[in-house]
Every structure is written in C-alpha cells, then in structure tokens.
Amino acid sequence: MYHEKYKLDELNAKRAIHVDRTTATFVIRNGRLVLEDSICDGGYIYVEQGVIREIGHGESSSRMFAGRSITVFDANDQWILPGFIDIHIHGGDGYEVMDGTIHAIEAISRFHARHGTTGWLPTTLTAQIADLDRVIHVVKRSACRFHGGAQILGIHLEGPFISPKRCGAQNPEFVIPPSMDILKHLTSIAEGFVKKVTIAPELEGALDAICWLTEQGIIVSLGHTDATFQQTLDAIAAGALHATHLFNAMRGLHHREGGVVAAALLTDDVVCEMIADGHHVSPEMMRLAYRLKGRDNLVLITDAMAAVGKADGNYKLGALDVIVQDGVAVLKEGNHLAGSTLTMDEAIRNMVRKVGIDLRDAAYMAATVPARELGLAHTQGSIAVGKRADLVVLDEGLHVVATWIAGRQVFAR
C-alpha cells in the first residue's frame, strides 16, 4: 500500500523522470510490476540505499513516508521489469571489448544500460593470448569504477578453444586446442573474474578442461563446435551445462545425427543462450526451443558487436571486416553472421511479438535465469524485497523509458 502522507519535491512531481546518479531513497509508483510469477497492476516499489524495501499495489501505509522527503517516479501505468543481465556482449555504440581500453568498455556499458541492461559479461573473441591478457586486465579495472552504465559482472572467454570447422565470425588464425597451461594463466590473471568459457568439447583435451573449469565454479558453455550427439553428452557429463548461442556455430539437427543442438535441447540441465533477433534464429525455432526448454533453461543474449546503435556500414569484429546492411552484420569474406546489432529490449519485443512468449517469461529469461547462473539470484534478477534495485521501465511498445542500477538512475528518456 502507498503512504497517504509524504513530502514530494515539486520539481520531481512535474518531471516524469529525474536522473539521479547517487543511490537514493525513492518510490516508483503506478506501474505494472513484472514479478517472477505474476503481474502486479498499479504497483509500487520503495527503494532505500539501492535495495528494494517494499513492493505492493495501491496506496502504501503512512508510516513509511511520514515526515520524509521522497523522490517519486510515476510510471504512468507502464511496465516495470527487473534489469536485464546479458552474458554475451562483444560491443556497442561503435566500440568493442577487444579494443582493450577502459573508454571502450565503459562506453559499451553505458550504451546497453540505455536499453535496459543492468549487468553484463564483456565477451572476448578468439585472439592472441597477449591480447586476451590485456582485455582481462582492462575489464577488471573498469569493473571497480562507477561509470554510469551496466555493471560488469565478470568476463566471458569465447574461444580460443573452438573448432576450426565452426569458427563462424571468429578468427581461425588464433584457434588453438585446449591447453590447461593457458586456461590456468588466463583464469589466474583474472583473479576469479572469468565467469564463463565457451569451448568445443570434441577437441583433444577438452574434457579435462571442462572438468577443471567446473571445479573452479566457472560456467562451461558448448559453442563453436562440430561435436556429435554423443560427444556433447560426454561433455555435459563432465560439467558443460551451457550452450553458446544455440543453433549458431554448432552442428545442427539432422534426422540421423542430433548433434549439439539435440543434446542441448534434450538435456534438462543444459541452459541455452539464444540470440532473439529473428536472423540468427527464426521465430519458429525460438518457439521450438522455448517449448522444449521452458523459461527456466533459456537465457536471452544479444551477442552484440560494435555496430549496435550505429548506422549500416563497414565495421570490424576483432581483426575481421564486417558489413552491416539493414541491421544484419556479416563477414565480408565468407558471409557468416558476425555477432548482432540486437539490444536486450529488442530481444524482449521479439520474444513477445514474434514468438508469442508472455512478457513475464521473456523477462525471466533476460534477468532471472542469467542471475541464477552467475550465482547472483539472492541479490539480482527479479523484483523482490531485499534485492538490489536493478530496474527498467518499458513503455507500451516495450521500449526503455528509464534504467536504475543499484538504485542509481543511469538512463532516462
């Protein structure tokens, strides 16, 4: 219930959104709260010191606001969702993770926050080890700073331990077989910051690497792989319980050999990433994945590259030349899809409109599942009392109106 008596700053009352870059005490009222298992119409969220202290609907009790000055945001009957967590981002706004600069990392963070992402895993490309070293150090440094963008939650190493047959838009020049020495080196310099590693399980030494990474508490994801159905099951048994961008850059379904796709879809414990842009995966195949995996084992990602947020034209993905036309990024040589120009709010729109998924389930796949997989479910990933105020407001067209991260409003339209 909403407080009947409270002091309201007149300026904030007139302005629909007030950007406050400090952690504040505030209320978002008159919203349609997208909770894990329900929609709360006419709902409110009370935030104090960056944490959700109360949620409900209607008028809140007078005790909470009595004698206090509270900033109030009127959501005007728009949607309020938990902030999105994207575990697979290469870039945005003209920058990419492999630029290896704090400026680039923070520009990417700010861009994606404007599209509702409150946490992310900067994702590397297959590259020389020295370049990976440099990126890891820069990402760690940037994660310690407040930069007005999505929070850096760790690093995702996509390669270099991938299949030469399934490079996709990765540079084949730097593909190498799994090496325990290199893995231990990269994870050591990351000091616990490597949260996810994509690997091709059919490669020699891959199963040992999967077992070791699993023991370290690092997510092992099957990707850029030509593994058979049985090879995939062996990797799953060893601890590889994720699939990187399902259907893409992996052996697909065939009626005589199910490959990675069948093994991932049929194994309940495997969580599958999905690039929900309608280009990487058609709507009917997204619907098939949802039917088989349910919302609990699908996670929406963007796989966004530098071109997202920019006009069509020529770009780079690492050292590879990419051309973007009508928002679709492909390598100039080979015509492989080269990441995406997708944002998380667009992924939500696509799941709801093109696939027919309930908004509640789309939000669950964009926030709750990735938070759970990163071990953050106790603090992030849903709207609940005691959790961080990572919140996004969407209008009726499901476009972002405002984004808060730990109670700081970092974007307002």
The answer to whether 338 is annotated as binding is: yes
Q: Was 249 annotated as part of a binding site?
A: yes
Cα–Cα nearest to 306, from 86, 112, 84, 87: 112
Identify the CATH homologous superfamily for domain 10-82+383-412. Answer: Urease, subunit C, domain 1 (2.30.40.10)
Q: What is the pLDDT of residue 21?
A: 47
The contacts of residue 144 (CB under 8 Å, 6+ apart) are: none
245 labelled binding-site residue: yes
At residue 68, the pLDDT reads 63
Percent of the chain at pLDDT > 70 equals: 92
Cβ–Cβ < 8 Å for 77, 112: no
Report the C-alpha gap between 107 and 220 in whole angstroms.
28
pLDDT in tens, 82-103: 999 999 999 999 999 999 999 9
| Closest of 27, 23, 5, 20 to residue 73, by C-alpha | 27
Same fold, 10-82+383-412 and 84-373: no
Q: Check: CB of residue 23 under 8 Å from CB of residue 50.
A: yes
224 assigned to a ligand binding site:
yes
Q: What is the mean pLDDT of the chain?
A: 91
Tell me, what's the pLDDT at 67? 56
Instruction: For residue 19, name the pLDDT band (cuts at 50, 70, 90).
Output: very low
Residue 379's pLDDT is: 97
Judge whether 104 is annotated as a binding position. Answer: no
Q: Is 256 annotated as a binding residue?
A: yes
Q: Hey, which residues are catalytic here?
A: 303
| pLDDT, position 334 | 78
- pTM of the model as a whole: 0.93
Q: What are phi and psi of 238, to 5 degrees?
A: -80, -10
Task: Tell whether residue 183 is among the known ligand binding residues.
Answer: no
Please choose, from the candidates 232, 87, 223, the residue with its C-alpha nearest in 3D space to the C-alpha of residue 167. 223
Tell me the per-residue pLDDT of 138-189, one tens digit each, with 9 for 90 and over: 999 999 888 899 999 999 999 999 999 999 889 999 999 999 999 999 999 9
Rounded mean pLDDT, 112-135? 97
Report the C-alpha dihedral over residues 361, 86, 376, 107, rounded to 10 degrees: -140
Average of per-residue pLDDT across 187-213: 97
Domain boundaries along the sequence of the chain? 10-82+383-412, 84-373
Determine which helix (DSSP H) or strand (DSSP E) holds 190, and give its type and residue range: helix 180-190
Cα of 396 vs its chain's centroid, Å: 22
Please write the tens of the pLDDT for every residue from 208-226: 999 999 999 999 999 999 9
Q: What is the tens place of the pLDDT at every residue in 31-47?
A: 999 999 999 999 999 99
Is 169 annotated in a binding site? The answer is yes
The H-or-E segment that residue 138 falls in is helix 129-143
Predicted pLDDT at 283: 97
Whole-angstrom distance, CA of residue 53 vs CA of residue 65: 13
pLDDT band of 311, cuts 50, 70, 90: very high
Q: Per CATH, which fold does 84-373 belong to? A: TIM Barrel (3.20.20)
Work out the average pLDDT over 297-322. Answer: 94
Residue 333 pLDDT: 84
Q: Is 337 known as a binding-site position?
A: yes
